[in-house]
Amino acid sequence: MIDIKLIRENSDLVKENIKKKFQDEKLPLVDEVKELDEKARTLQTEGDNLKAEKNKLSKSIGLLMRDGKKEEAENVKKQIAEMDTRIKEIDEELPEIQKSVREKMLVIPQIMDPSVPIGKDDSENVEVEKFGDPIVPSYEIPYHADIILSVKGMDKEAAGRTSGEGFYYLLGDIARLHEAMIAYARDFMIDHGFTYAIPPFMIHADVVTGVMSFPEMEAMMYKIEGEDLFLIGTSEHSMIGKFKDQILKKEELPINMTSYSPCFRKEGGSHGLEERGLYRVHQFEKQEMIVICEPEESMNWYEKMWKLTVEIFRNWDIPVRQLECCSGDLADLKVKSCDIEAWSPRQQKYFEVASCSNLGDAQARRLGIRTKGDKGTYYLHTLNNTVVATPRGLIALIENNYEEDGSIKIPKVLQPYMGGKEKIEVK
């Protein structure tokens, strides 16, 4: 949510930002908010003036009665009664206008960073840099589900019986490799100064609307029937929500944390071959990182954060690239965002395994996350980035470490988490 001052003082900037995101249908919202805001401020001033005048007149009644001026006192009482009627009208009308302003403001996108490339959708995202050589071996690499089945590492049929499509059992060495990746990512982030956390896996609706847009929520989140609770789609939601309505001490900043959680997402629709494998699933596990910092530090943190993910994947012998998200692919709360994509030697193309985002003060403004400085209280900036999400990270690791004999080589940094095992053999 942007600062209302931008609409009051520079509505053309807000409109231009909307146009660059190819969301022209939202342009009328800017003028609607401006008009409603002016009306709300006029009513607020009128109400405040009436209440001040009422207090002044109320004090005069006793003096008039003392001086025997009963008729004048009665006239003052009538004036106060009329004021009470108008104050009541304002007190009923003002919250409704303010609610309408907030609802419309929640839909108006955050002002993007000037460096964001302009494009209509993800097909116009821009490759920035590659890390590692994307190698295609001389031998065929099977579909990841077939590789995993060859080492008896997965059972989707049984998961279909217990839970339906989009769920899976991981078994044996594959399950262990999955957890090794999460554990390594956790320790890597701790070694880089991030505080480890395991957050709640369910959150209230006001936290959900604080961290994401309503369309995103509808597409992603599972609602708990009969309760004000949603299953998290990523631990960023509950991690940022941890600081809701808090005024953080400047000496505590920046706050940088890494969190583990299972994640739950609807992932609706049919995906063909992907249904057999682990690309699109309703439940997965993830190591996340979040930062809450001073506004002037957020772009530096953004650069640090995505590079940490690159380093982890390179430690696993996986070539990756950074892809800058264009304006049309940028979620409404984001100032700037990039994807980290891993090389798939089977498909001979890259696919997304992580996403890093600077949300400016959008989440902080919605959730009331602030600090106090020399010039008063102000909103902080929030950022988030995927450290590793499995099973997509697992797919990338398996494909890039698949050997001609059907075995899966275990990267050296993961071997201590696998009891010293160097490869997973075909069963």
Does residue 53 share a domain with residue 130? Answer: no
pLDDT tens per residue, range 129-179: 999 999 999 999 999 999 999 999 999 999 999 998 889 999 999 999 999
Which pLDDT belongs to residue 14?
A: 97
pLDDT tens per residue, range 269-323: 544 445 578 888 999 999 999 999 999 999 999 999 999 999 999 999 999 999 9
Q: Does a structural domain hold residue 111? A: no
Does residue 60 share a domain with residue 154? Answer: no
Which pLDDT belongs to residue 274?
A: 54
Which pLDDT belongs to residue 268?
A: 60
Task: Read off the pLDDT band of 5 (50, 70, 90).
Answer: very high
pLDDT tens per residue, range 364-421: 999 999 999 888 999 999 999 999 998 899 999 999 999 999 999 999 999 999 999 9
Which pLDDT belongs to residue 270?
A: 44
Residue 38 belongs to a domain with what CATH number?
1.10.287.40
Mean pLDDT of the chain: 93
Does residue 354 share a domain with residue 234? Answer: yes
Count of domains forming the chain:
2
Q: Does a structural domain hold residue 110? A: no
Under 8 Å between Cβ of 320 and 349: no
Span 324-328, average pLDDT? 97
Does residue 183 share a domain with residue 93? Answer: no
Span 33-41, average pLDDT? 96
Span 101-109, average pLDDT? 93
Which pLDDT belongs to residue 208?
A: 93
How far from chain centre, in Å, is Cα 238? 10
Other CB atoms within 10 A of residue 188 CB: 20
Does residue 75 share a domain with residue 172? Answer: no
pLDDT over threshold 90, residue 76: no
Other CB atoms within 10 A of residue 200 CB: 16
Which regions of 81-240 does DSSP assign to beta strands (E)? 126-131, 154-155, 169-170, 195-197, 202-203, 222-223, 230-231
Domain end marker among 70, 105, 140: 105
Task: Read off the pLDDT band of 219 (50, 70, 90).
Answer: confident
Tokens describing residue 271:
């995906």
pTM of the model as a whole: 0.89
Greatest Cα pair distance, the chain, in angstroms, is 109
Helices (H), 274-374: 298-315, 362-367
Other CB atoms within 10 A of residue 254 CB: 16
Q: Does a structural domain hold residue 8? A: yes
Percent of the chain exceeding pLDDT 90 equals 84
Does residue 96 share a domain with residue 240? Answer: no
Domain membership of residue 311 as a residue range = 122-424
Does residue 314 share a domain with residue 203? Answer: yes
Domain end marker among 51, 71, 105: 105
Domain end marker among 73, 105, 137: 105
Q: Does a structural domain hold residue 116? A: no
